[in-house]
Amino acid sequence: MPLTHRHLLQIEGLHPPEIDTMLDLAESYALLNRSGKTQRDLLRGRTLINLFFEDSTRTRTSFELAGKRLGADVINMSVSTSSVNKGETLLDTAATLNAMNCDLLVVRHGDSGAPALLARKVDAAVINAGDGMHEHPTQALLDALTIRRRRGRLEGLTVAICGDVLHSRVARSNIFLLSAMGSRVRVIGPPTLMPTEIERLGVEVFHDMREGLRDCDIVMMLRLQKERMTRGLIPSFREFFRFYGLDAEKLACAKPDALVMHPGPMNRGVEIASDVADDPVRSLIKEQVEMGVAVRMAVLDILARRSSRND
Ligand code: NCD
């Protein structure tokens, strides 16, 4: 089923066949990448701008690599928002980018809704690379692809999303995607890091990690978003690790073959112990990074085809 949207702003509202279409294409790009081949004709002559108002290493580089592997001209723009009025900057930037005739615009911004605002102002296809505490759709797609490759399916799996759920756009996008695809989703964390009424999204809430991990197939850890914490929401990092950090002992509460994920960047010893993060059998963290490139190639491919049809 073809994706009917012009932009990729969020997972919420996408239908399972649309998600499957993206994952299937990403799977073929994962195989292509492993074979060492490229598809440089696909986006030849197209321009991709990476517009990052917030720091990023892996997301920015993987969009850059994805664009280059498909033959696009890729430009990276990092914008500091420290001293200027954010709204004004965003609209000024939109006008500038529009004048440059860019085809694909990848946006990361500290404010929820910024990519959607840009999408209304530019002709390019806009991809949300993380907006505030709202969504990070390509992260959820790459997580889903990683799980699907290992487990062969998403349906019927029990996935625990653990830690700083409150500030996490990764958690929100994953909740929407995994629920739509028939996984059972649990969220685990202290009450201070849990959004109010999160149950409305159809998840089960646990404050006791050992209890929440019982019978889980996948344990997805989140980074503590210190930069988004305006007040003391946890007593200390040591205390947080004791109750909510994933170590071998807590992981033993999940299924014996449960797999571990983390979107990165990791705070080792705060939300995850190094021996668990680096476990070659249980940890999927490196594979998540690899699948990130494949998923972004698929998304760029689909959106570029759509925009060329609109030309
Ligand atoms: C995530 C993000 O930026 O939302 N990181 C990422 O994209 N790899 C998660 C995080 O920063 O904690």
Q: Catalytic annotation on 136? A: yes
Task: Please tell me the predicted confidence (pLDDT) of residue 63.
Answer: 98
Task: Please tell me the predicted confidence (pLDDT) of residue 92.
Answer: 84
Lowest mean pLDDT among 8-12, 95-99, 124-128: 95-99
Convert the pLDDT of each residue in 119-169 to its tens digit.
Answer: 999 999 999 999 999 999 999 999 999 999 999 999 999 999 999 999 999
Q: Catalytic annotation on 196? A: no
Residue 272 clears pLDDT 80, i.e. is over it: yes
Gap from CA of 54 to ligand 1 centroid (Å)? 10
Nearest to 297 by CA among 81, 55, 67: 67
Residues with CB under 6 A from ligand 1: 58-59, 130, 136, 139, 169-170, 223, 225, 263-264
**Strands of the chain, DSSP E:** 47-52, 73-78, 104-109, 125-131, 158-162, 184-188, 204-206, 218-221, 259-261
End-to-end CA distance of the chain: 21
Average confidence (pLDDT) over 165-185: 98
Q: Please compute, for residue 172, the number of CA atoms within 13 A of its CA located in the half-sphere on the CB side.
A: 22
* Atom number in ligand 1 closest to CA 54: 3
In the chain, what are the helix, strand and coil shares in percent, each to the nearest 5?
45, 15, 40
Convert the pLDDT of each residue in 44-85 to its tens digit.
Answer: 999 999 999 888 989 999 999 999 999 999 999 887 654 445
- Selecting among 108, 148, 172, 184, the annotated active-site residue is 108
Task: Please tell me the predicted confidence (pLDDT) of residue 291.
Answer: 98
Distance of CA 297 to the CA centre of its chain: 14
Q: Catalytic annotation on 238? A: no
Percent share of the chain, pLDDT over 70: 95
Query: Which H or E element spans position 27?
Result: helix 16-35
- Selecting among 5, 6, 38, 58, the annotated active-site residue is 58
Q: What is the pTM of this model?
A: 0.95
Q: Can you tell me the distance from the alpha carbon of 235 to that of 273, in angstroms, rounded to the nearest whole number?
A: 19
Lowest mean pLDDT among 25-39, 64-78, 102-116, 225-239: 225-239
Contact 156, 136 (CB under 8 A): no
Task: Please tell me the predicted confidence (pLDDT) of residue 83.
Answer: 41
Closest C-alpha residue for ligand 1 atom 7: 59
- Selecting among 68, 86, 149, 305, the annotated active-site residue is 86
Q: Label residue 308 by pLDDT band (50, 70, 90).
A: low
Strand partners, 52: 78, 108
Q: Can you tell me the distance from the alpha carbon of 121 to that of 161, in angstroms, rounded to the nearest whole number?
A: 35
Instruction: Calculate the alpha carbon distances from 230 to 132, 174, 227, 233 in Å.
Output: 14, 24, 8, 8
Instruction: Calculate the alpha carbon distances from 198 to 12, 170, 202 in Å.
Output: 14, 14, 8
In testing the pocket of ligand 1, which one of 139, 165, 291 has its CB within 8 Å of the most ligand atoms? 139
Average confidence (pLDDT) over 238-265: 97
Convert the pLDDT of each residue in 186-233 to its tens digit.
Answer: 999 999 999 999 999 999 999 999 999 999 999 999 999 888 887 778
Q: Which one is predicted more confidently, 2 or 265? A: 265
Q: Can you tell me the distance from the alpha carbon of 250 to that of 55, in angstroms, rounded to the nearest whole number?
A: 31
- Listed in sequence order, the residues at least 6 apart from 43 whose beta carbon sits closer than 8 Å to its beta carbon are 67, 70, 71, 72, 103, 300, 301, 304
Q: Catalytic annotation on 230? A: no
Closest C-alpha residue for ligand 1 atom 12: 223
Q: Catalytic annotation on 186? A: no
- Listed in sequence order, the residues at least 6 apart from 238 whose beta carbon sits closer than 8 Å to its beta carbon are none
Distance of CA 118 to the CA centre of its chain: 19
- What does pLDDT average to over the chain? 93
